[in-house]
Chain A
Amino acid sequence: MAGLRFDLRDTPPEAPALRAELRAFLAEAGREWTPMVRAYSWMGFDREFTREVGRRGWIGMTWPAAHGGGERTAMERYVVLEEMLAVGAPVAAHWIGDRQSGPLILRLGTEEQRREFIPRIIRGECAFAIGLSEPDSGSDLASLRTRAERVPGGWRINGRKVWTTNAHRCDFMIALLRTEAQPDPKLKHQGLSQFLVDLRSSGLTIRPILDLVGEEGFNEITFDDVFVPDSMVVGEVGQGWKQATAELAFERAGPERYLSSLPLLTAALDDLRAEPAAAEAVGRLLARAGTLRQMSLAVAGMLQEGKAPEREAALVKDVGNDWEQITLPETIRDLLDPARTPPQVTEMLGIITMVARSYSLRGGTREILRGIIARQLGLR
């Protein structure tokens, strides 16, 4: 269809053994996870858990051994990701590093950057934040204005980033910054560059922003003459837009784009046996879940082959977001009986009802994704 292909993939031969190992580990680690933890999942920050995951070799699984990586396949990594998400593990302390910052550094970083960051990410000791959005630049990301100016030995940054998830708990951020003033809005994609920014730099202020759930999930970051040495430029100066959009393909490609609210279905299922309407409703949910999983595997397969499935990823994210954000929570809500439902399930539904708003916003809004798909269809 219109140049989009979703070839079916198999999970790798290693999958059964890997799953068994993960399930044993997650059952043990997850003993104390509250409904809040499970509902927050890939936004939930837990360093201790992340270090354990790192110790078991589940961060940087596909990266070269020379840098401490596991040299395993993208499909094996996929198995690890989906197992973590299916139980709502708090993976935020390594998720971004493993998904996009690490791969970016490996692909475009200097040897020095690789040596400095990759082993630390793999050990779960260097957590990354995503520094894209600004107060006046959300969907229109390329309009961003936070500036990096050349100074002897490096760059001086001034401006603001916002909505930076977990920045107050992270170590570094990969920031997309304007290195060349661009008065012509038509040329806004030019003159942008990516930087590794130490979140403990002087002049950098992180102000947590309470989210609607009542958590300090994201932040506002103010740069006031923050110095970043030359050695922290990622890739090429001026090529930031191209680099960042390639990075976004990684961001959009994962199973977190449909699985975020699966723990709610798992938690609620036993309780639904008494509800006559549940069989059909649950069947519809599972029909989609199985299909979305195959679509997501298809994208993982393309990543494995070294392709950049940007459009396929956008499409799967769009269809997946609908399911995890609307279909699943709405279905469960409709089936629950307050007189019967255990409090943990009600609590998880409540949290997911709130958190789910973000699924169709972050990583590109629903409207922006559909714009990408429309372009693929030849409509723009």
Chain B
Amino acid sequence: MSDELRTILLEQVDRLLADTVTPALLRGLEQGIWPGALWAEMEGLGLTLALVPDAMGGAGLGWDDAAALWQVLGRHAAPVPLAESMAAAGILAAAGITPPAGLLGLVVPGEAGLPWGRRAGHLVAAGGDSVTLHHPAAAQEGRGAVSRLPFDRRTPGPQVAAAPMPATLGPDAASLAGALIHAAQMAGALEAVLDMSVDYATTRRQFGRTIGGFQAVQQLLAQAAGEVAAAGVAAAQAGRSAARRGLAGAEFEIASAKVVCGEAAGKVAAIAHQVHAAMGFTDEHALHLHTRRLWTWRDACGAERVWARRIGTAALARGGAMLWPDLTARDEGAAA
């Protein structure tokens, strides 16, 4: 997708979310209230099939466009499992299976449940050597310990379709997609948390001036800004690599993004709460609606440790002499 079109799409989604996603809506989610109108609008915009090629009735977006979109979604606390459904449809399409309508659940190995699994019309499994589409078995409803959002156990039931795993997706397709989704959403949520903190620091007054005037507070927020910028770059780079080389070929960048965004989530959420102090510790203030997601997404689809180990194991096997050549060769094709 051209930069210009992407900007238009992202702005459109950003506006839609800005208009719809109120703290009340977010609180409703924790009561299990499904934001049906929002979901319908997103389906109407074709977002659920955005990663599906035009020929199969989708919008033909790349993983880079998708990652940018998920970042916007994360900025608004990702009130619907759009990213998961979108990725599942994209994976099906890449394997040659026409995605069915409705919410698709992406089964990620090792995950105890699926966000809003109860509402999934179908489940998609993508690991090893096959991509499969299933009717879901009955849901065992649950909710995230920290997010308090619907997070349901739902195992794949009868198989509807199956196809061999395409090489570009690779045997870890679902895990990689899950990591990319959560890295991108964290990158967006981090922006929101930083913005809220800067706003708070420029309005809350103590000792006769705004607390943002105190250098200690400035230094904390500047540090947070560095982390937020790093997270954004890591997520974008992961999306770009996946667009260029497929999920399988982007393992390093996706893993890196999950690590960098996860580390940033820990640091920035801590700084945000320090700056908001008692007000940010209340249920009433909206900060926790975002920081609780950061803490949740950090651990979703593999915490930093898991992905760091993958990168590290590969680098150790390659050895010191290949460390720099490997790092620079990734986007330079033939080099190495």
Contacts and interface: CB of A to CB of B under 8 A. Distances in A.
Contacts of A369: 222
Contacts of A295: 229-230, 233
A281 interface: yes
B283 interface: no
A280 B312 contact: yes
B210 to A, nearest CB: 8
A2 B240 CA distance: 23
B253 A290 contact: yes
Interface in A338-380: 367, 369-371, 373-374, 376-380
A260 to B, nearest CB: 14
A82 B328 contact: yes
B226 A318 contact: yes
A195 to B, nearest CB: 33
Nearest to A291: B234
A10 B331 contact: yes
B227 interface: yes
A283 B320 contact: no
Interface residues of A, number: 57
Interface stretch (B53-61, B106-114, B129-137, B254-262): B254-262
Contacts of B316: 269, 272-273, 278-279, 282
A322 B304 CA distance: 19
A267 interface: yes
B277 interface: no
A204 interface: no
Interface string B300-336: 0000110111111101100111011101100111110
Contacts of A289: 327
Contact of A374 (B221, B240, B256, B315): B221
Query: Which of A8, A19, A278, A379 gathers the greatest number of chain B CB atoms within 10 Å?
Result: A379
A283 B331 contact: no
Given A290-B237, A370-B219, A379-B212, A1 B228 contact: yes
Interface string A1-45: 110101010110001100110010000000000000000000000
**Considering residues A6, A20, A267, which has the most beta carbons from chain B within 10 angstroms of its beta carbon?**
A6
Contacts of A378: 198, 202, 212
B320 A290 contact: no
Contact of A19 (B202, B328, B333): B328
Contacts of A291: 230, 233-234, 237, 256-257, 260
A132 interface: no
A284 interface: yes
A283 B213 CA distance: 38
Contacts of B222: 318, 369-371, 373-374, 377
Nearest to A4: B229
B232 interface: yes
Contacts of B253: 290
Interface in B218-269: 218-219, 221-223, 225-230, 232-234, 236-237, 240, 252-253, 255-257, 259-260, 263
B240 A8 contact: yes
B327 A290 contact: yes
B311 A283 contact: yes
A283 B198 contact: no
A248 interface: no
A187 interface: no
15 contacts: A4-B229, A8-B240, A20-B335, A270-B319, A282-B308, A282-B312, A290-B252, A294-B234, A298-B233, A315-B229, A318-B226, A319-B227, A322-B226, A370-B219, A380-B218
Closest A-B pairs by Cβ, 3 of them: A283-B308, A283-B312, A370-B222
